[in-house]
Amino acid sequence: MCFFQGIKAQGVAIGNVSFSPVNSALLELRSTSQGVLVPRMTLAQKTAIVSPATGLLIYQTNGNNGFYYFDGSEWLPFTGTGWSLTGNAGTDPSINFLGTTDAQPLRLSTSGQERLRINSGAAEVGIGTTASADNTLDILNTTTGGKGINLTANSLTTGSALSIVSNSLSTGSGIRVTSSATNLSTNGLVNFNLSGSNASNSAPVLKVSNSGALNTGAAFQINNNGVGNSFLINDDGTDSDASPFVVDQSGNTAIGGLTASEKLEVSGNIAINSTGGASNKLHFNTPNNSFMTTFKARNQTSNINYVLPPSQGGSNEVLGNDGAGNLSWISPYNVLGVATNAVNGNGVSQATSTTVYSNINQMSISLSAGTYIFLFCGDVFVDNGNTIGEFSFLNTDGTTNTESIRKIQPGTNAPGVISLLTLVTVPVSGTARVQFRRNSGTGTITIAGRTFMTIRLS
């Protein structure tokens, strides 16, 4: 049953019960079993309405079906500018948006807990935390495992999985990773891992470039205020390499498993290769860095190896080579002393034969193979003016060094001085001596040695 009531001061009431409409309503409908049915039409029919009046209401039966009203310029869902939970169509990115129009942040929550917030004053986003001022993105991960940010780009071939551009930096950082952890034991604060096994992987895992022609800053810098190593490279693919490359917190460097205690320590071979056909050098600068001592290799036909002596060596000793590269400390000269034999006493050597040499007593020396300067000085007596003799160097192999032969001139039983200075080659290690003999005449030649000296050259 319908009731119609026309009262000037009031609106119209329609319903299956008797009632008076509210004062502010032109029309009020009441029913407990029926509703109001507005015109129903398709999207095309709605669009075809000519000059729709503002506030015109219809129900769209296809597409994003539902109640629509005309706001004077376009048809809008009955929910106004709200977004459908099943998706939206016909949106215009220049006017449609999800967010706020006043100075209030936008919050997204799950399970009643805020998960993401966008600040109202600037482009500041917080995930798991309130966005901090001046930070574009703040992320708080409260889980004990997993990753704070997990970026996967499996189809990427030529681009960048992560690209950060900061063209106006002056004192800030393009990337900054900090941690107040007290028990970091594996993986590291920053972990780069190229796990694909393929010969085509020829690029570095980490590449740092400084391409600015006038840049004076370091391309790679490490500041270490702790007690651990500043830099460590493991080349066996594990975190427990027995022979890593290490730079400790003091700047000492160790290669090959040593503990760094000097600026450079190496376990293994070191090669200094030549470039451009020129031999590279090993430099040692003077304390004031004004000059340097340089070592470099000449052209050679085979490898040359030198083995250093096991001790420091004594005063005035020099390095000698045994011909096989084994170096040892040797004295550049040997003074055997002065013979104190009486002219006619025991130990004085006399030559009475023209064929047999005599050795000068106490004038012998042990020599290694090599080249020497040989020096002998002694006193000589010849008791007959017609007697002539010679003296020379007796080598370690028992042969006479012909270049060392010197004549003994005749005298009148008065003492004279003989000397010998020559270059000799010692073929084998052994004992060298000074020898002499009578070449002609009938007299006796007597020599008492004073000094026998050798200076090794090689």
Q: Are strands 349-351 and 445-456 parallel, antiparallel or unpaired?
A: antiparallel
Residue 206's contacts (CB-CB under 8 Å, 6 or more residues apart) are 192
CA distance 74 to 142: 46
Please state, in angstroms and rounded to a whole number, the distance separating the CA atoms of residues 364 and 433: 5
In the chain, the domains with their CATH numbers are 40-77 (no CATH), 106-137 (no CATH), 230-267 (no CATH), 333-456 (2.60.120.760)
341 contacts 450 by C-beta, under 8 angstroms:
no
At 84-114, the pLDDT tens digits run: 777 788 888 888 888 888 888 888 888 888 8
Q: Is the pTM of this model over 0.75?
A: no
Model pLDDT, residue 79: 65
Q: What is the pLDDT of residue 398?
A: 85
Tens of pLDDT along 376-388? 777 777 777 677 7
pLDDT at 355: 54
**Whether the Cβ atoms of residue 391 and residue 423 lie closer than 8 Å to each other:** no
Per-run averaged pLDDT (10 residues), the chain, 458 residues: 49 80 83 88 94 92 90 82 73 83 86 86 83 80 77 78 79 77 74 73 78 80 82 79 84 86 87 78 88 87 89 80 82 40 35 59 75 77 75 83 79 64 85 78 72 74
Q: What is the DSSP letter of 241?
A: -
48 DSSP assignment: H
- CA atoms of 310 and 298, how far apart (whole Å): 27
